[in-house]
Structure 1
Amino acid sequence: MRKGADTMQRASDSRTKTIVVVTIGVLILLPAAYGFIEKLTLFILAVKRDLIAGFTIIPVVNYLIVTAGMACLLIWAVAHGMFRRIEQPKYTMLEREEEIDRLDASENRTGEDR
């Protein structure tokens, strides 16, 4: 009976964690996106009014292309589960280190017997 309660508690904790992360993400990304879109709109309006400002279009377009590429990489990583169980490699490394230490200790004991 206790095992089922633990599973339910973990599921509840996981859901709470997901809700908190999504909420914080939205609270950070919405104002940032608004500011970015507003500045981009102002930049486009400035370029349309003034021909001298046109020389800055190439760096801005370059910036937008790189940003789009990074967004695609982020979406790909999330879709392929790159952010699930992010701590697992740490535990795997620690388990392997313990195994190596055990093997070294057993080799040292057999070496002393000779």
Structure 2
Amino acid sequence: MGNGASLSVTDMRRSTRHPVDYPVIAEHRVTGDMKLHVCNISAHGFMIDQAPSLARGDRLIVRLPVVGRIEAYCIWLTEDRAGFQFERIIRLDTFMAMIRELQPNPALRRRS
């Protein structure tokens, strides 16, 4: 994993992010399973806080409600956070169904 990921989707950080509080177990090809905390998510990727030892370009597989298993690549890191881009964009209807499960409090959901 030395060369990092070659990402095909351009910078999508302007996508609407939805705040979530979602613990997930991610599969890392080298280090195995790791516990992560997803704190926001969009149709293009997600951010974690309390980031474990990761490097830019690392690949993880996570399991999300409605979406199921999806691969994501680490595209940026700070001291305690990391941003991941999904290997594919999640369809809007699937994404909104996932958000309904991740944000059971309707007050947290953005207006469509």
| Interval of TM-score (by shorter of Structure 1 and Structure 2) | under 0.3
Pick the structure with more helix per residue. 1
Q: What TM-score do you get using the length of structure 1 for normalisation?
A: 0.19
Q: Which has the higher contact order (CA 8 A, sep 6+)?
A: 2
